[in-house]
Amino acid sequence: MAFYNLKGGVGKTAAAVNVAWEAASSGVPTLFWDFDPQAASSWYLQHDDGLQRSAKKLIKGRRPVGAEVRRTAWEYLDLLPGDLGYRHMDLLIEQAGGKPDALADLVRPFAEQYALLVLDCPPNFSRLSDNILRVSDLLAVPTIPSPLSFRAWEQLREHFKEEGLPRKRWHRSFRWWTVAAPCIGIG
């Protein structure tokens, strides 16, 4: 499950952390991958020190992705932390062959250990976002009621259409400016 929007500041991180925490609290083995270089989700989950090795080694297969998984303070919730090196993910994916399913190759081994993979995504169109859109079974698109949010929503719809991506797995959710998005149970 990915939390994605072309626009920033719409509640992707708070929603992603909450869903992951709720799933883990219900006994669902959950892996959270924070793809945002700002690593806000990792901060929420108390691991904002980044990767132990470079993102380049992960993408090129020279470092097993599983070696970067961190346990969190919450049972059934593990984390692949955000890292400043993710700002170069598009270049790294391109250097690794530019496959549209490069991310699928990285997450496939986790299916044996985790029932849910939650992806917190940076706000952009990129090779990374295209990979995320292809690998996700469910795409949550947090949206705030503003002209720029609706513009980003329309751009995302057009991108799905151009790329031939299935739209039946994505869902828009609204969050009002006056409603806070606290991290339930984490604090």
**Interval 40-50 mean pLDDT:** 90
- CA 83 from chain centre, in angstroms, equals 13
**Interval 81-101 mean pLDDT:** 80
**Interval 103-107 mean pLDDT:** 84
Amino acid identity for residue 176 in this structure: W
> Would you tell me how many other CB atoms lie within 10 Å of the CB of residue 115?
12
Specify the CATH number for 2-174; select among 3.40.50.300, 3.40.47.10, 3.40.50.12280, 3.30.390.10.
3.40.50.300
Residues 109-122 have pLDDT tens digits of 899 999 999 999 88
Amino acid identity for residue 5 in this structure: N
The per-residue DSSP string of 46-58 comes to T--S--SS-HHHH
Q: Where are the domains of the chain?
A: 2-174
Cβ atoms of 144 and 11 within 8 Å: the answer is yes
Residue 73 scores a pLDDT above 70: yes
**Interval 92-106 mean pLDDT:** 77
Sheet with 116-120, strands from edge to edge, namely 70-71, 77-80, 30-34, 116-120, 2-3, 139-143, 170-174
Q: What is the pTM of this model?
A: 0.81
Residue of 160, 112, 113, 154 whose CA lies nearest to 136? 160
Determine the Cα–Cα distance for residues 105 and 129; give it in Å rounded to an integer.
Answer: 15
Residue of 170, 182, 4, 186 whose CA lies nearest to 77? 186
Residues 5-20 have pLDDT tens digits of 888 888 899 999 999 9
pLDDT of 156 reads 83
Cβ atoms of 23 and 165 within 8 Å: the answer is no
